[in-house]
Every structure is written in C-alpha cells, then in structure tokens.
Structure 1
Amino acid sequence: MALLLSMALLARPAMAQSILRDAETESLLNDIARPIVAAAGLEPNNVQMVLIQDKEINAFVAGGQIVYIHSGLITAADNANEVQGVIAHEVGHITGGHIVRFSEGARAATGISILSLLLGVAAIAAGGGEAGMGILSAGQQAAMSNFLAFTRTQESSADAAGASFMKKAGISGKGSVSFFQKLRKEEFRLSSSYADVDPYARTHPMSADRAAVMEAELKTDPAWNKPTDPALEARFQRVKAKLAGFVQDPKVTLIKYPESDQSIPACYARAYAWHRAAYPDKAVAEVDKLIAAQPHDPYFLELKGQVLLESGQPKAAIAPLREAVERTRSTPLIATLLGHALIASEDPANLAEARTVLRNAVARDNENPFAWYQLGIVYSQEGDIARAALATAERYAMTGQPQLALGNAETAMRGIPQGTPDYVRAEDIALTSRQAIADRKRR
C-alpha cells in the first residue's frame, strides 16, 4: 500500500490545484516556449502552457501536450532563459512519452512488491514470522528502489532531450544550468544536511549532478553566450512582477517593490497589491503611471478596467477594456472581462455588444466557465431561456457537475430547434453527462 501511495503522489493532478488564467502571462509563456517546441518537432499551437497557483518551485506534465508551471517557479526565476530551460525539460518528457511509460515502471515495481508479499505470507504461514516480515519489508524497499531508479532515468532522459532542443533552437543553456543551481540551494535548505541526502531515494537525480552534466553539454554550444531578446526579457520581468502582486501577501509585495522603485515592473506589482488589499484608488494611481509611460499597452488598459470593474465602477471600466480587446485582437480572457463590464453596467443598450463579445470569446476559448456564466446572464436578460440553459450546461459540464449539466442541457433541447448546431451541442452535453453520472454510480 505504501508503494502505491507514493506512486499516486508522484502523478500530481493539475485540477487539484488552482489554474491561473491571464492573457499576458499565457502569451508570454507561449512565445518563450514556441522555438523550443518547434525544435522538438512538435506543433507549437498544440502544446499548451498552463500556470498553476502553487508557491512550490516546480513544473510537470500529466498527459497530453500540456506543460503545467507553478507560479512559484516564475517568481523564483531570475530571467526568461531559466524558464525556457524548464520548459525544454518538460517538453523532453512529452517527446519521450514518459507519462505513457510511467506504467512500465509501476508494473515492474508492483511485480516485485507482489512477489515479496507472496513469499512473506508463505514464510509467516510456515511459522517464520520474523523472516516473513523481513521479506515483506525488503520487498517493499526493493520495489520502491526499482521505481525510483526508473523515474531518475526518465528525468535524465528529459534533461538530455531538453538540452538538444535548446541547442537546436539557438537558445542559450545558461538558464538551464543556473536554475539547477537554484534547485540545489533549495535541496540544501530543505535538508538538515546535504551530505546526508540519499541520491538513490529520490525521484530526480541530484541537482548538482544535473547542473554539471548540463553545463558540460551546453557550454560549448555557440548560443551559450547569446543574450535573451531584450523585449522578451522585459515582458518576463513584467509578468513576474504582476504575478508576485497577485499571489503574494500585499504587504510582502509592497516591501519587495517599494515606492522608491518607479520601474514598470514595480508599478505593476504594486497595482496588483493595492487592488488585492482593497485600495482601488492607489491601484488606479499605479496603473495610470503605467499608462502614462505606454498609453496603448493593452494589458495596462486591461488592469485599469479590471480594477474599476471590481471596485464597483463598471461603466468607467468599459472604455479601457474595449481598447484592450481591440489591441489584442479580441483575446478571449480580456473580451470576457469586457462582457462582464457591459453586463454589470445594467444598461440594456449594452446587452447586444456583450452577447457578441462573449460569443466570440467562447468560440475561441470554450474552456472558460466564467465566460459561459456571463453569456448565460446575457441570454437570460434577453429572454432566451433555452440558450441561457445551454450556456449554463456548458459551465457545469466543464466544472465536473454532470447532474446539473444534464438538467440544463435537457431544458435547452426543449427550446432550441432540432438539428441546429446549438441543439446538437445540447444533445452532446446531455449524452456525456448521462455517461458521467452512470460512471459515478458504478464507482
């Protein structure tokens, strides 16, 4: 049982944590990953970067072509190149099919565990209680050692693949090496004595060893001393600051980014910190500094609209959000925020625009429950109860509530003409929801 529990902990489900959605951050992560993904022979548009709210310095893949990155990794990284090194490693897991092959290591370890269980029980039954327990304990230890050796091999393989992708993409490997050195310091901080850490009782090779191997591999590459594009680095520093302002205690952020620092990242961080601390006037003052420096930056406009909207000024939020949507070519997350502001203005004249904006948003990104919720409100206020029910069914299906999804899908089907795309979609939701309910009952 201990072996199986350890395996379960290694396969970390992303949905057990909070996913952070931010248009600027997602755009940055996709841009810094694109050359690496292409160098790996994958289609960049098919590989998704997902940000998880978790202070731990970590990133992982959990199936498919999705790289999950912890917010703690972004805040710990000094530069964009370090994050690129981590992404290259995770892409190495994807190309190596390591999640699929995870079961190979599990089967081998489980086989050892079962064999030791049978031998131990036989020894106990024959009267050798202590010997039987010894066999059981040794078998568990052997099974775990076998499994950990398997995962370390996978990690080393991903390191090598990541290094090859960095070289092929013409990106410096300095970030990979420096980030492993950071992890080494973290290992030292978490252990009472670094010398006492057993390298064979770990899922990953020791970070010091990984850093040495990577440096030997990458230091001779022509791109080793190639600097990161300054514009890309500036975007990273902005995102790092705004993320700190969003996830950290506002008091911590305001100490880290004092008023004496009038740089764009510092103003960005303070704007989020003041907003989270419920000081909208101070937050707007920081955003206005940003807009004065870059008047048409869509993400600064988005933040101003967000602060105004969430502080009870939806009408004032509409203008900056409209410009932000226009300048990002209707990025779905920002468009959803505009739709929300239009609805919250309580002006019936804004409903038609809200419906158009939100329909476009869900057409381009249908995995945003809040967008479906807002669209359902529009339909309900317009008296289109069937499509309001369909939007609600989409939201419940997405959030894992099949019983509620089914009821709303059936309501939608009673009011939408058969054979239309909306009717077919409601039918699909009803079918999958019934199956999900049946599966839960069987379990």
Structure 2
Amino acid sequence: MRRPRRALAVALSFLAALALPIEAAVAQSQGQGQGGPRVRIIRDAEIEALLRDYTRPVMKVAGLAQQNVEVTIIGERSYNAFVADGRRIFINAGALLDSETPNQVIGVLAHEAGHIAGGHLARMREQIAGAQTMAVVAMLLAGAGVAAGAASGVGGSSLSSAAAGAITAPQEMIRRSLLSYQRGEEQAADRSAVRYLNETKQSSKGMLETFERFQSEQLFLSQRVDPYLLSHPMARERIAALEQLAKASPYYNAKDPPALQERHNLMRAKLAGFMERPDGVYRRYPLSDTSLPAQYARAISAYRYGNVNDAVAKIDALIAREPGNPYFLELKGQALLEAGRAGQAVPPLRQAVSMTGGNPLIRAMLGQALVQSGNPAFTDEAIVELVRATQRDPNSVEGWRSLAMAYGRKGDLPNADLASAQSLMASGEFRTAQELAARARMRFPPNSPGWLKADDILNFKPPKSAQGSQ
C-alpha cells in the first residue's frame, strides 16, 4: 500500500474492483465500471510465503499437494475465509490481523481445504474455474460477502454492503449458486480439517477459538439474520459439532513453534502498519513496546504517513537488528521507490531478490525501480528482471506494465503492446487487452512466439459476467 496521495488503486474491469497490493510500487487504474462491488486484493511476498508454509503440510495430507492451491488475501477487515474453486482459497486480511496464533489461521485454511478435497464446489458455474483470480473474487462478492458481513457484524463493511447491493432479484440464480454450500458440507469440512490437523500433529484448538469468535459476534445478529442466507451454519452449531472431536485429539494442546509464532507476529504487525492509521498503530504497538513486530509496524506507519528519512532510519534499525530478513530490505526499497527515489531503491531490492531466490513480487518491484530510475543503462536489466518476474507470476499487473515501459524505451513496440495487453488481461480489462493484442499481433512475424501469445489473448473468452461491461 502507499500514501494517500499516491494510492495503489487498481480498478478491476467489469465490477470496478479495487486491488491494493502491499508490495506493489506503482498504482494504475484499470477497467471502469460504475457503482459495482469493490474488492481489494493484497499481494505481499512475506505474507504469501508464510501462508504457503501454513498450508503445505495440510495440502499434502488432504491429497491436494499437486493442485497448487493458492491462498489469496482480500483487503477486508472482517474475519472470513471461503473457497472459489479447486485451486483458490480466499482469506480476509482481518482474519490474519486478528488471529493471535498461527494455529488459528491454519485451522481456517484446513477447513477450506476440506471443502476442496471433498469436492463441495461442483455446483459452481463452469466459468469460475477458468476465470482470472480477481474476476472470481468479484463474482463471489454477491455470495460470500453476505456471510462475511453477517459474521463480522460490521455494518459499514464495504464488502458486506457491496454484496447486499449486488444480491437483487434479477440475480437470484447467481446468489443461489454462490451460496450453495450445504450445512452438512460445512460440518464435513470441519471434520476433515480436524483429521488433517491430527495427521500433521497440530492442534485443532484454533478452529474452536475461531468459531467462538463467530459465536460472540453473532449473538446480536441471531434475532435478525436469516441463517439460510449465510453460506455457513451459525457458530454455536459448529462449536457443538466440533468440540468433541477436537478435544479428543492427542494434539489438542500442541503449541505453535516459537519461530513460526514470531513470523505470525511480524505478519500481523505488517498488516497493522499498512491497514491502520498511525494512532491505531501506536495504540496497538506503543513506544514502550520494543519488540521486533512493534518496530516493524511503526516503521511501516512512518513510511506511509511520515517523513521518508525518518522511515528509512527506522527500517535501517530493523535491518541492523535482523540483517538476514529480506523483507526489511524490500520495505526499504519500497519506501524509497514510492518517495520518488527509485535509484536508491535498487540496491536493497537487489539484495532482497537475491535473498529470496528471486521472489517474483520483489523482482517485479526491482524491475519497476530500474525503469523508474531513469537510467538508460538499467533498461536491459529491467527487462530481464521483469520477464523473470512475470514468467513466475503471470498475474502481476504492475510487472507487465513496467515491462511494457521498458520495451517502449528500447523501441520494441510489438513487445511493449503485448506486455500492456497482458497487464490488462491480469487485471480483467479483457476488451482493451484484446485491442492491444490485435495491434501487437500485426507487428510480430506470423507464428512467432510473440504472435502466438497475442493470438492467445485474442482467442480468450472472458467470463460471461465480464462481457459487455467495459
């Protein structure tokens, strides 16, 4: 995320969704849409790496290791998670921020893995399986958003209010499809989650703690919310069904490893620094708190709202305290880049790329810094870094856009057009992407690799809900 004056807004095509990636460095406006639901997708190298570590053992015992299930973070403050198809789990940033232990998040993810392994999504419309990630989120707003809003009890939630507006009489069939989770399937997913946690020698206490949270939040909702409008059973029913199984596990009192807990604490601090205003950050992490997570949150808050030199000094103190942490170097590069000091951002970002084995999100930011530095000597390096980044993460909107700029500076117009088209495809702006792809195809030799990629874009069939909305 970035300062309000340079907000990271990515308007998602057909539903005007808004993506605010924590680690992306340049904002871009894509799509149009008016008055539609808005959703934020958060991309962050550090948090995504942690979530992969959380899910890897669970996916293995669930038989899903080969499906490359992705966990996507939604920038909503409410506590919620849901699945879209056989390869995507969505979790709200609020769930990560409010979960005090890794086990609480792992329990939620294990439950969603139970849905995927149990084939509970067979009734989802076929188009969802091939849709872009952000397109799936937008389509699910009309369904899962209702459960998120009801469970959170936050009347002003942008997700719940947008979903409530989206579920109207003409969309009744869509609503029924997207809220088609059966209560029995939810309980089956709970039982599967306990089994996965037992097989990986982890506690299921975190699941119970999560449902207890839902229960306390739903006490005042139960008299005015129709439980059949929710995609999940009311919390008290789930606790009653789950508690006996969970407490029978020999691992019920197992604790998370200290190193994993520390990473979890850093994740929460990072989210707080990016999502909360300075007064909220300092209430959560007062100056008397000298822990690493507290310093992290205050450094992020300083870069977002304060003086960049003060922020860099705070980040340098983090680096001095833990020099082997690549995400502190990444944060320094991001702070400098967003302050208009792209050339100074290059060295720490190069280090971070090297230390993470070429993480594509950090690599894309490095490529962006190389492009924005204005140094012509960096153009070839930028192209190399951005090509590598987009090969590993083809949904990197900013990576493709920066690559288009780099190709443009080289006078390589066919590849510049193609990269621009791929950037638009990644954000869901299909019609404009195909217009650029048509121009790129005309510039490439027939049947060359670039020509074939442009042709693929031209032959792509957008989800029906995206057609005619641009």
TM-score tier, shorter chain, comes to: 0.7 to 0.9
Q: TM-score normalized by structure 1? A: 0.81
Q: Which has the higher contact order (CA 8 A, sep 6+)?
A: 2
Are the counterparts in 1 of residues 300 and 311 from structure 2 also a CA contact under 8 Å?
yes
Alignment of 1:308-327 (within 5 A): 308-327=336-355
CA distance in 2, matches of 1:36, 1:428: 35
CA distance in 1, matches of 2:402, 2:231: 44
Which structure's residues are more often helix, by fraction? 1
CA RMSD of aligned residues (A): 2.9
CA distance in 2, matches of 1:439, 1:351: 35
The corresponding residue for 2:320 is 292
Mapped pair 1:251 → 2:279: yes
Q: Which moves more between the two structures, 423-432 or 73-82? A: 423-432
The corresponding residue for 1:418 is 446
CA distance in 1, matches of 2:306, 2:398: 22
The DSSP-based 3-state class of the residue aligned with 2:82 is: strand
Mapped pair 1:440 → 2:467: yes
Identify which of 19, 23, 35 aligns with 2:45.
23
Q: TM-score normalized by structure 2? A: 0.76
CA distance in 1, matches of 2:353, 2:435: 34
Are the counterparts in 2 of residues 178 and 211 from structure 1 also a CA contact under 8 Å?
no
Identify which of 269, 273, 280 aligns with 2:301.
273
Identify which of 387, 392, 399 aligns with 1:359.
387
Mapped pair 1:237 → 2:271: no
Q: State the Cα distance separating 1:374 from its structure 2 match.
A: 0.2
CA 1:312–1:197 in 2, change beyond 3 Å: closer, same or farther? closer
Unpaired stretches in structure 1, ≥5 consecutive residues: 1-11, 104-143
Letter in 1 for 2:78: E
Alignment of 1:206-225 (within 5 A): 206-225=234-253
The DSSP-based 3-state class of the residue aligned with 1:99 is: coil
CA 1:13–1:91 in 2, change beyond 3 Å: closer, same or farther? farther
The corresponding residue for 1:138 is none
Identify which of 405, 409, 412 aligns with 2:437.
409
Are the counterparts in 2 of residues 23 and 333 from structure 1 also a CA contact under 8 Å?
yes
CA distance in 1, matches of 2:105, 2:188: 19
CA distance in 2, matches of 1:382, 1:85: 50
**Alignment length, in residue pairs?**
387
Identify which of 361, 372, 394 aligns with 2:422.
394
% same residue: 38
Q: State the Cα distance separating 1:201 from its structure 2 match.
A: 7.1
CA 1:420–1:149 in 2, change beyond 3 Å: closer, same or farther? closer
Identify which of 56, 62, 86 aligns with 2:108.
86
The corresponding residue for 1:8 is none
Are the counterparts in 2 of residues 287 and 303 from structure 1 also a CA contact under 8 Å?
yes
Q: State the Cα distance separating 1:198 from its structure 2 match.
A: 7.2
Letter in 2 for 1:171: Q
CA distance in 1, matches of 2:200, 2:464: 47
Letter in 2 for 1:329: G
CA distance in 2, matches of 1:438, 1:95: 27
Mapped pair 1:160 → 2:228: no
Unpaired stretches in structure 2, ≥5 consecutive residues: 1-16, 20-36, 126-174
Letter in 2 for 1:246: F
The structure with the larger Rg is 1
Alignment of 1:323-342 (within 5 A): 323-342=351-370
CA distance in 1, matches of 2:223, 2:434: 57
Are the counterparts in 2 of residues 402 and 436 from structure 1 also a CA contact under 8 Å?
no
Q: Which moves more between the two structures, 243-252 or 330-339? A: 243-252
The corresponding residue for 1:60 is 82
The corresponding residue for 2:202 is 171
Q: State the Cα distance separating 1:161 from its structure 2 match.
A: 1.4
CA 1:45–1:349 in 2, change beyond 3 Å: closer, same or farther? farther
Letter in 1 for 2:308: P
Q: Which moves more between the two structures, 42-51 or 58-67? A: 42-51
Are the counterparts in 1 of residues 67 and 87 from structure 2 also a CA contact under 8 Å?
no
**Residue by residue, what CA displacement relative to the aligned partner does 1:378-413 show, whole Å, maximum 9, x if unpaired?**
000011011000101111222222332122112212
Mapped pair 1:183 → 2:211: no
The DSSP-based 3-state class of the residue aligned with 1:62 is: strand
CA distance in 1, matches of 2:224, 2:463: 48
Q: Which moves more between the two structures, 274-283 or 342-351? A: 274-283
Are the counterparts in 1 of residues 18 and 40 from structure 2 also a CA contact under 8 Å?
no
Are the counterparts in 1 of residues 404 and 417 from structure 2 also a CA contact under 8 Å?
yes
